[in-house]
Amino acid sequence: MHFTFHQLQIFVEVVNQGSITKASEALHLTQPAVSIQLKKLQEQFPIPLTEVIGRKLYVTPFGEEIANEARDILVKYDQINQKIDIHQGRLAGNLSIAVVSTGKYVMPYYLSGFVNNHPAIDFKMDVTNKLRVVEDLEQNNVDFALVSVLPEHLDLVSIPLLKNELYLVGGTLRQALSKTPKKKVLENEPLLFREYGSATRNAMESFIKKQNLAVKKKIELTSNEALKQAVIAGLGYSIMPMIGIKNAVEMGQIAIIPYKGLPITTEWNLVYLKKKKLSPVAKAFVTYIHEQKDTINQQHFSWVNP
pLDDT digits (tens, 9 = 90+) for 72-93: 888 777 767 666 655 555 677 7
The residues of the chain that CATH labels 3.40.190.10 are 93-162+267-300, 164-265
pLDDT digits (tens, 9 = 90+) for 205-241: 999 999 998 888 899 998 888 999 999 999 999 999 9
pTM of the shown model: 0.69
Please check whether residue 223 is in contact with residue 143, taking contact to mean a CB–CB distance below 8 angstroms: no
CA distances from 210 to 197, 204, 267 (A): 19, 10, 20
Task: Say what the pLDDT of residue 60 is.
Answer: 94
Please check whether residue 148 is in contact with residue 100, taking contact to mean a CB–CB distance below 8 angstroms: yes
pLDDT digits (tens, 9 = 90+) for 121-162: 888 899 888 888 999 999 888 999 999 989 889 999 999 999
Comparing CA positions, the residue from 208, 204, 187, 186 lying closest to residue 195 is 204
Which of 247 and 78 is assigned the larger pLDDT?
247
* CATH topology classification for 93-162+267-300: D-Maltodextrin-Binding Protein; domain 2 (3.40.190)
Task: Say what the pLDDT of residue 89 is.
Answer: 58
The residues of the chain that CATH labels 1.10.10.10 are 5-87
Task: Say what the pLDDT of residue 1 is.
Answer: 67
Q: For residue 47, give the 3-state DSSP assignment.
A: coil
Q: Match domain 5-87 to its CATH number in 1.10.10.10, 3.10.150.10, 3.40.228.10, 3.20.20.70.
A: 1.10.10.10
- Give the strand pairing for 93-100 and 121-128: parallel
Q: Match domain 164-265 to its CATH number in 1.25.40.340, 3.40.50.1970, 3.30.420.140, 3.40.190.10.
A: 3.40.190.10
Crossing angle of helices 5-17 and 20-27, rounded to 10°: 120
Residue 57: Cβ within 10 Å count? 18
Comparing CA positions, the residue from 27, 18, 26, 30 lying closest to residue 59 is 18
Residue 50: Cβ within 10 Å count? 18
